[in-house]
Amino acid sequence: MNSGYGIGISLILGIWAYVGVIANLAATLRWTDPILNGLVVGAIVGNIPLGLAIGGTLELMSLGMTVTYGGASMPEYSMGAIIGTAFAALSKLPQGEAMATGIAIAVPVALLMTQLDVLVRSVNTVFMHGADRAVEKQDDAALTRWHLFAQLTWGLARAIPVFLAVWLGSGPIQTLIKNIPAWLNRGLGTMGHILPALGFGILLTFLPIERWWSFFVLGFVMFAYLNVPLVGIALAALAVAIIYFSLKPVEAGEQQAEEAVAAKGGGITSPVTHGDLVKAMWRHNLTLQLSWNYERMMGLGYAWSIAPILKKVYPKKDEYFAALKRHMVFYNTNPAVGGPTIFGADCALEEVRQPEVGDSLKVSLMGPCAAIGDTVMGVLLNPLFGVFAASLALRGSVWGAGLIVILGLIWLFVRIPGFWVGYKQGLGLVRQVSSGAITRVIEIASTAALFIMGGFIPSILAKVATPLAIIKKVVDAGGKEVVETITIQSILDKILPYMLPLAVTFTVYWLLKKKHWTTVQVLLLLVAAGIILGAFKIL
């Protein structure tokens, strides 16, 4: 088992690993599914039934992990299927024994690749900040390069390990897994958990939290104390904001400002063509996640996607790059269900020069759409298809992989009508708003966004917690001395649930807003703090 394949097969499997992760990341084509990987590798190494059996088994193990909620890293069963199938076929054992051998290799490989996934999501912040510099220098071509080249980290982080593992043999992989320091694993994991706080801190600097902090508190209370899901929080946020602003009297000065804004948004000839909209839609549908990173997640991909619209709406160079910068903030939602609708509405609002409404709606809808989309994908359809596909694969039928391919095409093409629905609704929003009410819409959207952020921040940063505990000896009711363990986290939760996620996020906000730290300075602080606190088991 220690000898590997020739360089040709090793290179082919490495390329497939690269293509698979990019196809799944860019278009949700499900090419990283264990069954499909088992079929492809089985065909390449000459044992399709074995590949389907290993892929089907790993598929059943991965049910419930088919969507990375909030950008969480999951075991890479896809890479496990590639390497496990390759070495199982190389073993020349009977089918049952070969399958057991493949699974024994695939599971630790999947766990190891989780750490590489964390590393990639962290390293991609380099591309994010490169894009920031490109916008400051007003270099559109450089912005494009920083976004599209970010795929290299995703692809190479899969292709290189697969190539080396298949070429060198299973021995080095098992040795590597055993010798990774536990403290480094913990440190990288903690770093991954706290880095989204930077994105949230940046986003809060763009929202009127100092004025409408009470809405943030309401959202937090609903999530932390009442266990209301994000969709429920979103509905409550919209209702409360509408009720509040319908009761709030309009001041004379505010009325004049609203009428000016309404006039600006109506009666203009749009410079945006149907071709511009199609270009923006396909950019969003096929590249949104290529530069995904822990700091601002889909922020760079979103900005690059909407750039064709901004370029037409803001022909002056300074205005165009200012609009780009406005969109390069934290953004994360489901890329297939809900996300295209948000993007379509935002394109429509930018087209009629209502960026404040678009920005606020984007923030307020990304959480609920993520909750709906992730539920539809990760809880309903993906597991349903996965169970049927696994049952077929375990019987040796290639239709198991066929079902996975069909599911991937569904997630790709459902984005197209989703975009146009959002676009039409976005235009309708502006057309339906009467004179003297647009500022109210902006305020409703902004406060609703803060309301939802109150639940969104603790949901994403829920793993920012301390494992520290106090151990003391006490005398029980029977007079016997026993050891009692009290966790620090339980004490903090009694004082304020999710205290640590809030503390980290608002520390970042304070450093950015009040102390005027750069995002790079805050990023380096969080990276160092994450690794150190994780290594010493403080977080």
Q: Concatenated DSSP letters for 342-386?
A: HHHHHHHHHHTT-HHHHHHHHHHHHHHHHHHHHIIIIIIIHHHHH
d(CA 150, CA 334): 20
Q: How far is CA 263 from CA 249, 257, 268, 359, 433, in A?
A: 21, 10, 9, 20, 11
pLDDT tens, 331-364?
Answer: 988 899 889 999 999 999 899 888 888 887 887 7
CA distance linking residue 468 with residue 536, whole number of Å: 10
Cα dist. 476→172, 302, 484 in Å? 52, 59, 10
Check residues 109 and 159 and name the one with the higher pLDDT: 159
CB 323 within 8 A of CB 135: no
Least confident residue range of 80-89, 159-168, 244-253, 433-442: 433-442
Please, which pLDDT band fits residue 237 given cuts at 50, 70 and 90? confident
pLDDT score at 180: 63
pLDDT score at 112:
79
Cα–Cα distance between 430 and 410 in angstroms, integer? 31
Q: Per the structure block, which two tokens stand in for 81? A: 């299927």
Instruction: Give pLDDT tens digits for 299-326.
Output: 999 999 999 999 999 999 999 999 999 9
Q: Could you give the CA distance from residue 296 to residue 150 in angstroms, rounded to a whole number?
A: 14
Task: State if pTM tops 0.85.
Answer: no
- The distance of Cα 14 from the centroid of its chain, to the nearest Å, equals 25
Distance CA 65, CA 76 (A): 10
Structure-token pair, residue 35 = 């069954």
Tokens of 512: 């950015």
Mean pLDDT of the 430-457 span: 66
**C-beta separation of 29 from 409 below 8 A:** yes
Please give the single-letter amino acid code of residue 498: Y
Confidence of residue 433 (pLDDT cuts 50, 70, 90): very low
- pLDDT of 441 strictly over 80: no
As a whole number of angstroms, the distance between CA 236 and CA 214 comes to 14
| % of the chain beyond a pLDDT of 70 | 85
pLDDT of 473-493, one tens digit each? 777 666 677 777 788 888 888
Instruction: Look at residue 204 in the predicted model and tell me its pLDDT.
Output: 80
Average of per-residue pLDDT across 115-123: 84
Residue type at 248 in one-letter notation? K
Greater pLDDT, 437 or 212: 212
Neighbours of 10 (CB within 10 A): 19
Q: How confident is the model at residue 429 (pLDDT cuts 50, 70, 90)?
A: low
**Cβ-based neighbour number of residue 417 at 10 Å:** 12
DSSP secondary structure letter of residue 331:
B
Compute the distance between CA of residue 230 and CA of residue 213 in angstroms, rounded to an integer.
18
Cα distance between residue 277 and residue 420, in whole Å: 9
The count of other CB atoms within 10 Å of the CB of residue 480 is 8
| CA 75 to centroid of chain Cα atoms | 16
What six digits make up the tokens of 523? 């990023």
Q: How far is CA 34 from CA 53, 54, 163, 369, in A?
A: 10, 8, 18, 27
Distance CA 59, CA 38 (A): 10
Per-residue pLDDT at 1 exceeds 50? no
What is the pLDDT averaged over residues 138-164?
94
Dump the DSSP string for 58-122: HHHHHTT-SS-GGG-----HHHHHHHHHHHHHHHT--HHHHHHHHHHHHHHHHHHHHHHHHHHHH
**Cα-based distances in Å from 487 to 282, 467, 494:** 49, 7, 11
CA-CA distance, 375 to 479, in Å (whole number)? 51
Across 25-29, 164-168, 288-292, the highest mean pLDDT is recorded for: 288-292
pLDDT surpasses 50 at 110: yes
Amino acid at 304: W
Extents of the domains making up the chain: 7-193
Least confident of 218-222, 253-257, 447-451: 253-257
What angle (nearest 5°) sits at the alpha carbon of residue 338, between those of residues 337 and 344? 120
Query: What is the C-alpha R_g of the chain?
Result: 25
Distance CA 222, CA 274 (A): 42
Q: What is the 3-state secondary structure (H, E, C) of 276-315?
A: HHHHHHHHHHHHCCCCCECCCECHHHHHHHHHHHHHHHCC
Phi-psi region of 169 (alpha: psi -120 to 50; beta: other; left: phi over 0): left
Does residue 274 surpass a pLDDT of 60? yes
Q: What is the DSSP letter of 211?
A: T
394: which residues sit within 8 A by CB, 6+ positions away?
52, 53, 56, 57, 400
Tokens 């021995």 belong to: 171
